[in-house]
Amino acid sequence: MDTKKIIVLGADHAGYEIKEFIKEQLTNLGYALEDIGTDSTKSVDYPDFAEKLGLQVAKNPAKKGILTCGTGIGASIAANKIPGIKAALVHDEKEAILSIEHNNANVLVLGGRPFDKKKVKKILLAWLNADFQGGRHALRINKIEKIEKKYSHEII
């Protein structure tokens, strides 16, 4: 299968149910999946899954990731600590599209409590079908990457 169609999925316990719903949707759409866990609603720590997912995506730029936790806030903060990760916490279709068109996000982050299946499906499709616009947005992404490199070896 085309590596551009590989999606890495990760969640903590609070994001488990939405991850399973997303997994079903992506399977129906023909995506190859790598599910890095968790595999239940038993309490676990979101930074562990954000790190694992972030490293998988960062090592292979053809992959994208979808990460979920209770609100999505903690998971997005943790994932964005991995160099090369552009994790976007998204709440609607417009944000999903813009996270790709303007920010070239490689990780979609969603809150799992509560979640609306119809809304999640719309967000997912919008994110998967959007394309990075480049141009002035590429200049901004380059600036973000320079900041990341500048401070990656320094302690602030």
pLDDT recorded at residue 154: 66
- pLDDT at res. 1: 40
pLDDT tens, position by position, 99-144: 999 999 999 999 999 899 999 999 999 999 999 999 999 999 999 9
In a domain, 99, yes or no: yes
Domain that holds residue 99: 3-151
HSE at residue 69, side-chain half, CA atoms within 13 A, is 20
How many domains in the chain? 1
CA dihedral 68, 32, 35, 59 (to 10 degrees): -90
> Residue 143 maps to which CATH number?
3.40.1400.10
Global pTM?
Answer: 0.95
Give the active site residues.
Answer: 69, 102
Residue 68 has a pLDDT of: 98
Which residues of the chain fall below pLDDT 70?
A: 1-4, 154-156
Residue 156 forms part of a structural domain: no
